[in-house]
Amino acid sequence: MSILAGDLVDDAILAATPFIAEHQVPQGPLLRVLGTFDLDAVRLVSTYAPELLSSAGATFSVSASLNITGYPLSSGLSYNNFTYTYGNGETYPLAIVPESRMDMAIRNPCGIVRLGGSQAEFFPSDPFRRLWEGTDVRPYFAESTDQIGYRYVPLPARVTTRTQTLGAPDEARAMLQWLLSAYALEIAGAPPDRRQSAIGHAGLARQEYIFHLQKRLPTRSAYGESTGAYG
């Protein structure tokens, strides 16, 4: 079941009653901050159970210069299911390895995904372990006719209207409601103890939300070889 922004705003204001009235809190700021809370909730899914999120696909061609500087990836929360396709159509899994094993990877083709900064990037591992020095023809990442494919979880859209559907799953509803209630209480000038109470409820709901995600799907390991990277 999806979460509508307007429904969550109404529930948050109701939870803060009688310490605030609906007219005391403009809905523009509530929708704006709800977008931030929604992004955090989706990040938790991306960390603990990325398979629960809808993903998109993308491909890019191999380039000798980008082997060194890195291939920019589409903006997203997590990346998985990397593949390497030769010009003749042969396709193989492309392993994503920890950066500490960049040049010691067991499997080829392989590489790393750097998630820091404003743009995620893919860096391929040199099959000859020479950091792409020399002119020897590599068995992978050598021809511009070859392509690398992957799937990624897009960033959720900004929340601007009451009719908008949030990116977070329904299991995040309680956490989002209490976070929004705490924010509404703050901007309405409600007693501090009421805001702290809402924050406490939000913290408990967050723990339950994470437990639910861990229960539905096993947590991904941050180590070892895989076909994905999660931020």
pLDDT digits (tens, 9 = 90+) for 20-66: 876 678 889 999 999 999 999 999 988 888 777 878 999 999 999 99
Residues 81 and 44 in one domain: no
Binning pLDDT at 50, 70 and 90, where does residue 18 land? Answer: confident
Lowest-confidence range among 17-26, 170-179, 183-192, 207-216? Answer: 17-26
Quote the pLDDT of residue 220.
43
Residues 126 and 226 in one domain: yes
Residues 179 and 212 in one domain: yes
Residues 92 and 166 in one domain: no
**Does residue 106 register a pLDDT over 70?**
no
**Does residue 219 register a pLDDT over 60?**
no
Cα distance between residue 220 and residue 213, in whole Å: 12
Residues 39 and 131 in one domain: no
Quote the pLDDT of residue 203.
97
Residues 45 and 148 in one domain: no
HSE-CB of 100 using CA atoms within 13 angstroms: 3
Closest CA to 42 of 182, 175, 164: 175
**Does residue 6 register a pLDDT over 70?**
yes
Structurally, the chain folds into a number of domains equal to 2
Q: CA 83, 89, 95 angle in degrees (round to 5)?
A: 15
Q: What is the dihedral of CA 177, 17, 33, 205, to 10 degrees?
A: -20
Question: Tokens 């999806």 label which residue?
Answer: 2
Question: Tokens 């809190």 label which residue?
Answer: 25
Range of 77's domain? Answer: 55-155+222-230
**Does residue 118 register a pLDDT over 90?**
no
Instruction: Report the mean per-residue pLDDT for the chain.
Output: 88
Here the tokens at position 6 are 């307007």
* Beta strands 110-114 and 95-96, pairing class: parallel
Closest CA to 153 of 49, 8, 60: 49
Q: CA 172, 176, 182 angle in degrees (round to 5)?
A: 155
- Taking residues 87-114, report their average pLDDT: 88
Residues 86 and 40 in one domain: no
Closest CA to 77 of 166, 176, 156, 170: 156
Residues 119 and 226 in one domain: yes
Enumerate residues 6+ apart whose C-beta is below 8 A from 22. 13
Residues 133 and 151 in one domain: yes
Here the tokens at position 130 are 């020479």
Alpha helices in 49-165 (DSSP H): 66-69
Residues 149 and 176 in one domain: no
Residues 70 and 178 in one domain: no
Q: How many residues does the chain have?
A: 231
